[in-house]
Amino acid sequence: MSNTYEFPLKQHIGGEAVPCVVEGDEIHKGQLLAYQGEGLGSSIYSSVSGKVIGVEKGLIKVVADAEQPEEYEKLKSTTPLELIKESGLVGLGGAGFPAYAKFSKPFKNGGTVIINAAECEPILSHNIARIEKKPEQLIRGLRIAMEVSGADKGVIAIKEYHTEAIKELKKANSDPSIRIKTLEDIYPMGEERAIIREVMGKLLPVTALPLEAGAIVINAETACRIQEAVDLKKPFIEKDMTVAGKIRGNEKLIQIFLDVPLGTKVSDMFEKAGGDIGHGLSDGYGEIIMGGPFTGKRTFPDAPVIKTTGGLIASECFPKGPEKIGLLVCACGANKERLEELAESMGSKVVGTEYCKQAAEVGSTRKCENPGRCPGQVQKVMALKKAGAEALLISNCTDCSNTVMSCAPKLGFPVYHCTDQALRAVNHKLIRRIKDSQAG
């Protein structure tokens, strides 16, 4: 394992943080390394005690001491909102929007704080693991978020099959203003607007913020870290994550690590999971994904764990794709650039790109008009066939994949999905056709 920790200055939405240490500084765990610049952003703290060995462009490197203390340098602010801001906490669902900014406009006449505990990406399971272990922490974090935002209601949205976690939450909760909302198990129930639709019964337009529905949505781990920032005055220096895939030894393919120090090397995480040999990775793997199978990005063994790291998945080797491939992009899964990267790894040339009808452009990105309630895809599939594609590579959510699967194979069109190699790596069922089921 390495003893070097790296802290990129931009691990969030907003401006780069500004370094306040120089090479050679002796630092303590929890000490500020870089402070939030002007405008939106977040501060960065050291997750270890040690010595700064480099302040390069966009990155601070720290060599950790052999002995690491339990304690950390405490935050100095006094009010909850200031503590959240000072802690450097960002939304931990993936995008990394600074947490304090969500609370910048308190509700005037009450509102709802929704905890997103959907943990929607397949394989990832660290959120539920924490909830099962410390349900009271989540409830307390939610309570603080409600106070800070002036909300009078709290909702924990969680998938219905997490019966153990739901039971623990109910046991831990005695506050009548907090309720639990169970969600169906399809991807992308955890998408912000999908959650609001399920909880508030209101489908927001793609350009709207949750505030327009009288709601703030925060990820489950974010709420737990809010509790730590406010009650323990702890800076945000540790992150929960799921390490999975082609782990050497082939035994435990999905492992949970709670409170991993930020800045840890990706390869060190696999060593923790699979041992020293070959950095804990199996001999052949396709790529390492940081994040979940749908929306994660490619990363490398030398990269550090950052604030938004939720999953590290060593995927199965890429199969050899056809010569020409067509891309069908869904706003809820991998974007065009990511699919192009996957196509290249399969050795296929992209001959056409289509977007799901519901994938509306919002700024530089795309959002789904009604997540998980999908239109037909025949037209798009036909267009790609016309463009000369011999197979499809899609990034669609569960429901869309269903519609693709109901036409493409019949047209003699093999369908690859952006999540395939990750799911194969843990022997999970692939995202393809779903079957209907009825209550009764």
Residues that bind other proteins (CB under 8 A): 160-161, 163, 166-167, 170, 182, 245-246, 250-251, 253, 282, 284, 316-320, 391, 405, 408-409, 412-417, 420, 424-427, 429-430, 432-433, 435-440
Q: In what order do the strands lie in the sheet with 18-19?
A: 18-19, 32-35, 44-45
> Taking the complex as a whole, how short is the minimal distance between the CB of residue 180 and other proteins, in angstroms?
9
Q: Which is nearer to other proteins, 201 or 440 (CB)?
A: 440
Sign of CA dihedral 39, 193, 202, 356: positive
Rounded Cα distance, 390 and 413, in Å: 6
Nearer to other proteins, 25 or 185 (CB): 185
**Contact present, 153 and 111 (Cβ < 8 Å):** yes
Comparing C-alpha atoms, which of 171, 178, 64 is closest to residue 113? 178
User: CB of residue 393 vs other proteins: minimum separation in angstroms?
Assistant: 11
Which lies closer to other proteins via its Cβ, residue 72 or residue 318?
Answer: 318
Kindly state the smallest distance separating residue 250's Cβ from other proteins, in Å: 5
* Least Cβ distance, residue 287 to other proteins (angstroms): 13
Q: Is 85 or 159 the residue whose CB approaches other proteins more closely? A: 159
- Smallest Cα–Cα separation from 183: which of 158, 162, 201? 158
Nearer to other proteins, 39 or 412 (CB): 412
Nearest approach in angstroms of CB 241 to other proteins is 19
User: CA-to-CA distance for 24 and 425, rounded, in angstroms?
Assistant: 42
Three-point CA angle 308, 135, 172, nearest 5°: 155
Distance separating alpha carbons of residues 239 and 254, to the nearest angstrom: 17
Shorter beta-carbon distance to other proteins: residue 6 or 316: 316
Taking the complex as a whole, how short is the minimal distance between the CB of residue 165 and other proteins, in angstroms? 12
**Is 148 within 8 Å of 106 (Cβ atoms)?**
yes
Tell how strand 112-117 and strand 59-64 pair up: unpaired
Residue closer to other proteins (CB basis): 248 or 265: 248
Nearer to other proteins, 289 or 415 (CB): 415
Of the candidates 365, 375, 429, which has an alpha carbon nearest to the alpha carbon of residue 400? 375
Q: How far is the CB of 160 from other proteins (least distance, A)?
A: 6
Find the Cα–Cα–Cα–Cα dihedral 318, 321, 327, 330, rounded to 10°: -40
DSSP-derived secondary structure for 50-119: EEEEEEETTEEEEEEPSS--S--PPP---SHHHHHHHTT-B-TTTT--BHHHHTSS--SS--EEEEEE--
Q: How far is the CB of 76 from other proteins (least distance, A)?
A: 42
